[in-house]
């Protein structure tokens, strides 16, 4: 793995109303006469509402005027910057996913390969041992035969 850095993308979706309130709690709220329900609000006669004064927000001065920034920065440069940012995020995410997937698959494959190699090595060692023992026994038998023949030859030569 590339370091211990793991990147996960957070979902920035807004919470759903049902995530915040359970069904039982919703039923309690609906039965409470002090809390208006949507149908009550829609069917109630409109009351005269007094407008609330709202201050207009102060105009925001951009550091570079929008028209000037679009004219000065060519669209290709903007596209390259955006593409670079997206590519960087995708590569980070791919590194994370691929590292996890590869490590899982490689470890399982290595386990299988080690098992197969161990079995093959045992089999080869057994054959090699059989060959070595067979040669050793043959050599020992040959030596015993040669000694016996020498003894017989010595015995026959001493008798004559």
What is the per-residue DSSP string for the chain? Answer: --TT----PPP-PPPPHHHHS-HHHHHHHHH-TTSPPHHHHHHSPPPP-PPPP-PPPPPP--SS-HHHHHHHS-HHHHHHHHHHHHHHHHHHHHHHHHHHHHHHHHHHHHHHHHHHHHHHHHHHHHHHHHHHHHHHHHHHHHHHHHHHHHHHHHHHHHH-
| pTM, full prediction | 0.35
How confident is the model over 6-12, as a mean pLDDT? 49
Return the pLDDT at 51. 59
pLDDT above 50: residue 15? yes
Mean pLDDT taken over the chain: 75
């Amino acid at each position: 793995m590339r370091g211990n850095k793991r990147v996960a993308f957070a979902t920035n979706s807004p919470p759903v109303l049902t995530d915040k309130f359970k069904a039982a709690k919703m039923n309690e709220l609906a039965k409470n006469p002090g809390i208006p329900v949507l149908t009550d609000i829609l069917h109630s006669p409109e009351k005269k509402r007094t407008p609330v004064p709202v201050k207009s927000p102060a105009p925001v001065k951009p550091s570079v005027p929008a028209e000037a920034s679009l004219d000065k920065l060519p669209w290709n440069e903007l596209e390259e910057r955006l593409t670079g940012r997206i590519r960087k995020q995708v590569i980070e995410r791919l590194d994370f996913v691929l590292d996890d997937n590869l490590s899982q698959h490689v470890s399982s494959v290595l386990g299988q390969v080690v098992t197969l190699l161990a079995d093959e090595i045992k089999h080869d060692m057994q054959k090699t041992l059989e060959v070595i023992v067979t040669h050793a026994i043959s050599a020992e038998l040959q030596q015993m035969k040669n000694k016996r023949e020498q003894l017989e030859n010595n015995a026959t030569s001493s008798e004559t």
